[in-house]
Structure 1
Amino acid sequence: MSQQHPEPQPVPPGLPAVQQGVRVVLKLGVRATSLNPTSRSKERSRVISLSSRTRPELTHPRLSCPTGLQQEQGEQFLGAEFASLAAMRLQERSWGRGRNSTLPPPAVPVPTSSFAAAPAKLFVTDEHPTGESKSDLYTALQRHTRKDIPTLGARFRSDQKGRIMKKKALAVVTVVLGVSGTWTAFAQGSNTIKIGVLMPASGVYAQLGEEGYKGFTLYLDSIGNQVAGKKLQLIREDEEADPAVALRKANKLISSDKVDILAGVVLTPSAYALTDVVEEAKVPLIVFNAAGNALTRERKNPYVFRVSGNAWQYNNPFGKYVATKVSKNTFLVAADYAFGKESLADFKQSYTKAGGKIAGEVYTPLGSTDFSPYLARIAAARPQAVYAVLSGSDAVLFMKQFAQFGLQKSVKLAVFGDMTDEKFIDAVGDSAVGAISALPWAQDLPNAQNQAFTTAYKNKYKGDLPGVFAQRGWDTARVIVEALKKTKGNVSNTEELLAAMRSVTFPSPRGVFRFDPSTQNVINPMYVREVVKTPQGLINRFVTNLGTFKDPGK
């Protein structure tokens, strides 16, 4: 039967508070660490090893670490936001629980699914001038060591009145700590900030991931791969096109690699799978592509930010434009997954409101190689235009086969902007010329940041033109850097880091970049673009600015 944990109560009068001398220090990954290097054997004799049956829980609020304490060599103090991990409480066979303890119950239980086999040490030291403490914490700890695991010989000396004798270290407890605590302990003292990058390197979205990573690293190269005097270390994992893989790789980056920040994610289902993970681990996730509406609506949480935009922003403003400027009779095609369905729904909302009629609607499986059945239906419907929402190799194959069917001669191609990315349309060829789309970025936008971005890309990649995925990668990296500037490179204070990210604003290749603080989704300009042929190849040329849009969803 699961235990019910009542709301935390104020500290009862008379109970000791941290200002009276309790100092709590968290140590990670060291089996036997001595506060006094000359007495390792004595320190080791006080180690208590708790079995896997035990379960750490968030603890009494009075045990937060006070500010102003002097740090001793090798110690890392917990900030106030990690007070919940300061004095680990253990269910049942534990100190202060099931042993007549007067300590209040923990405020919030830690889900057992978050646990990783990461050894940690909790040091409780006594700063009282007398060297004595009547704290229920110490009493409960003494009771625990004597009664629960006596076979380890881990006992504390006490006087005849049961008081713990004066010792430098009153307790050294080895526990299994969940991922929610492991990543932060050394963050503030480290000269390296670890960023986990989760982007596809294989599968249907491999090219999207490669371009995103190029843009991401291109911006970091431009600032010397450091910020606020700290080195930025990237650890990349392949998202593939599988939410289960993305979840496994994200857990590895958080629990094994101990990254401070996560970035990337192409596929919307992958992003949905990660929301609970990053919130539980307290690791910010900066999404560079996945555009499903729910990510910053009903699934939103304070640890998820999105740089790309969402389905509504990409499709709803463009729907009205297509109805008024392009076609009153349009056939709809999208990939058969959440983002594809959301995109067509958002497009139809404004398109039909502006007088447009739907000639037909189909959804294609991800990774399709033969679009002929769908193209036959389009030909039979005889629409004025097709509006398609596909990505990666699906987009290339659809546009190639669209031309092979001869449909481009009579049907206008209006598409989701990712489909005509500069990295794809060369593979389609001249049949892509004339296709229109809408996105927050165009190759020829006349602003200084866009010129700097496109020039840097062409210089590094031997004249190749960048596409929108590289541009999103560039902005994703800059969001992280601008936030770290605000925190002076400190990633240990999670609330401060999240607040810094929410307030980030800077001149971007797309225009002014800023988040909507209520959703943490980017506020996007939307530009209509048209594919044209230039001496440098096929590009998306700016046509008109539809305005600036934030997601109106809740």
Structure 2
Amino acid sequence: MKNFSASSLLTLSCALLAASTAQAQSSDTIKVGLMLPYTGTFAQLGVAIENGFKLFVQEQGGALAGKKIEFFKVDDESEPSKGIENANKLVQRDKVDVLIGTVHSGVAMGMAKVARDTKTLLIIPNAGADAITGALCAPNIFRTSFTNWQPAYAMGLVAAERKHKSAVTITWKYAAGEESVKGFKEGFEAKGGKVTKELSVPFPTVEFQALLAEIAAAKPDAVYTFFAGAGAVKFVKDYAAAGLKDKIPLYGAGFLTDGTLDAQGDAASGLLTTLHYADGLDTPKDRSFRLSYAKTYKLQPDVYAVQGYDAAQMLAAGLKAAGGDFSKREALIKGMELAKIDSPRGAFTLSKAHNPVQDIYLRKVENKENKMVSVAAKGLADPARGCRM
């Protein structure tokens, strides 16, 4: 066997390292980790987000900036206690380049911790936890949806403008619900209203009868609520069955009636909600998106599909700016920060905290659609309290 000098071994090692690095940087595949709910209360929402993301990739011929996309999936179970563990499955085990997720704000907080610790790129296509683009903001964390504050604050303004003076709020007792109620209260009371009672039930409880009786006894001018998925279906039907629908106007963040209208039936008719998307926006982008989604999945898209679609758009913008080279992180992140996303909801940009600056629409349920009534808040930016990025 030949003897190698120390210098020869060093030269060989450097060559192998250089070859390995070049191979990694020239990889024609981007590994995308989808950490979404595929079972439980939010399962339908997770599927819609995945569908939207994959639709945009499909429209680009199955690649973004010339890079093929390889998907890895983990069911987050909407379980915050498993958030870090599940995110690490994708980051440590599957070695994904980017994390996409999730719906539940508590789970997203765990994902954000993993992303911050490992510097993994994270794009949040739904969970609105204020802190993620607030006190926990980071250069590698982006959101294509909303903060819990945004639609809630806008609805607070709307409720006050409709001359309501008192309101009761009701939600699940978890981060998203509590932050949504806080946002509504801020907007409502800034315009002279008063939240007289704040009610909650543990997540994912759907037993509302006792609290509905409490609302009936309190007789507020209005009720504001934050529920989504199966919980939203049950609450809207129970509210109507209790005889409250025609007595005390029910308002909510748009998740109350997004992706839930078929199941809610007539109980949802006439409800007003606020959100960054609505049916019947009637723009060229929205029309083409809805047609493409319906043809591909034989379903009508909702806000969750839009947010997934825009998560793919944002990743594509970053990859394009980096010339398709994922290792050029500075260029990738800058490209995402400066992107103007041509979304079905209407074009939006990002704040310095990496959260959408967007119009919030007032919608009314008509014929099982969330029809736009007006723009409740134009170009609304989250205050991003505590962000020091």
Distance 2:158 2:283 in 1: 24
Structure 1 runs (4+) greater than 4 angstroms displaced = 170-173, 183-186
Query: Residue 106 of structure 2 corresponds to which residue in structure 1?
Result: 269
Query: Residue 357 of structure 1 corresponds to which residue in structure 2?
Result: 194
Query: Residue 176 of structure 1 corresponds to which residue in structure 2?
Result: none
Query: Residue 50 of structure 1 corresponds to which residue in structure 2?
Result: none
1:193-246, Cα deviation, whole Å (9 max, x unpaired): 111111100122111111111111111111111023221111111111112323
Query: Residue 448 of structure 1 corresponds to which residue in structure 2?
Result: 284
TM-score with structure 2 length normalisation? 0.92
SS in 2 for 1:203: coil
Indicate the structure with greater helix content.
2
Distance 1:384 1:238 in 2: 41
Query: Residue 154 of structure 2 corresponds to which residue in structure 1?
Result: 317
Query: Residue 470 of structure 1 corresponds to which residue in structure 2?
Result: 305
Equivalent of 1:521 in 347, 355, 359: 355
Judge conservation of contact 2:53–2:312 (CA < 8 Å) in 1.
yes
Query: Residue 502 of structure 1 corresponds to which residue in structure 2?
Result: 337
Which structure 2 residues correspond to residues 73-472 of structure 1 after superposition, within 5 A? 166-169=7-10, 187-325=24-162, 327-421=164-258, 423-462=259-298, 464-472=299-307
* Of 369-378 and 356-365, the range deviating more from structure 2: 356-365
SS in 2 for 1:355: coil
CA RMSD in angstroms comes to: 2.0
Distance 2:24 2:172 in 1: 41
Distance 1:170 1:481 in 2: 38
C-alpha displacement of 1:389: 0.7
SS in 1 for 2:146: coil
Change over 3 Å in CA distance of 1:468–1:168 after alignment to 2: same
Residue 486, structure 1, aligned to residue 331, structure 2: no
Equivalent of 1:512 in 347, 371, 377: 347
1:54-92, Cα deviation, whole Å (9 max, x unpaired): xxxxxxxxxxxxxxxxxxxxxxxxxxxxxxxxxxxxxxx
Distance 2:244 2:123 in 1: 39
Identity %: 34
- The one-letter code of the counterpart of 1:312 is W
Judge conservation of contact 2:53–2:309 (CA < 8 Å) in 1.
yes
Distance 1:472 1:202 in 2: 19
SS in 1 for 2:95: coil
C-alpha displacement of 1:367: 1.5
- The one-letter code of the counterpart of 1:309 is F
Distance 1:412 1:380 in 2: 15
SS in 2 for 1:470: helix
Judge conservation of contact 2:84–2:113 (CA < 8 Å) in 1.
no
Judge conservation of contact 1:523–1:548 (CA < 8 Å) in 2.
yes
1:9-32, Cα deviation, whole Å (9 max, x unpaired): xxxxxxxxxxxxxxxxxxxxxxxx
Distance 2:140 2:21 in 1: 15
C-alpha displacement of 1:184: 8.3
Change over 3 Å in CA distance of 1:42–1:415 after alignment to 2: farther
Distance 2:284 2:153 in 1: 29
Query: Residue 17 of structure 2 corresponds to which residue in structure 1?
Result: none
- The one-letter code of the counterpart of 1:285 is L
Query: Residue 139 of structure 1 corresponds to which residue in structure 2?
Result: none
Report the structure number with the largest CA radius of gyration: 1
Query: Residue 550 of structure 1 corresponds to which residue in structure 2?
Result: 381
Distance 1:209 1:219 in 2: 16
SS in 1 for 2:327: coil
Distance 1:325 1:376 in 2: 25
Distance 2:105 2:346 in 1: 25
C-alpha displacement of 1:279: 2.4
Distance 1:166 1:379 in 2: 84
C-alpha displacement of 1:168: 4.5
Distance 1:319 1:381 in 2: 19
Distance 2:136 2:29 in 1: 31
Judge conservation of contact 1:282–1:494 (CA < 8 Å) in 2.
no
C-alpha displacement of 1:337: 0.9
1:466-522, Cα deviation, whole Å (9 max, x unpaired): 111111111111111121111121101222211121111132111112111x20111
Query: Residue 131 of structure 1 corresponds to which residue in structure 2?
Result: none
Judge conservation of contact 2:155–2:253 (CA < 8 Å) in 1.
no
**Unmatched tracts of structure 2, length 5 or more:** 15-19
Change over 3 Å in CA distance of 1:313–1:185 after alignment to 2: farther
Distance 2:65 2:135 in 1: 35
- The one-letter code of the counterpart of 1:362 is L
Distance 1:326 1:444 in 2: 27
Judge conservation of contact 2:67–2:324 (CA < 8 Å) in 1.
yes
Distance 2:76 2:163 in 1: 37
Distance 2:235 2:96 in 1: 39
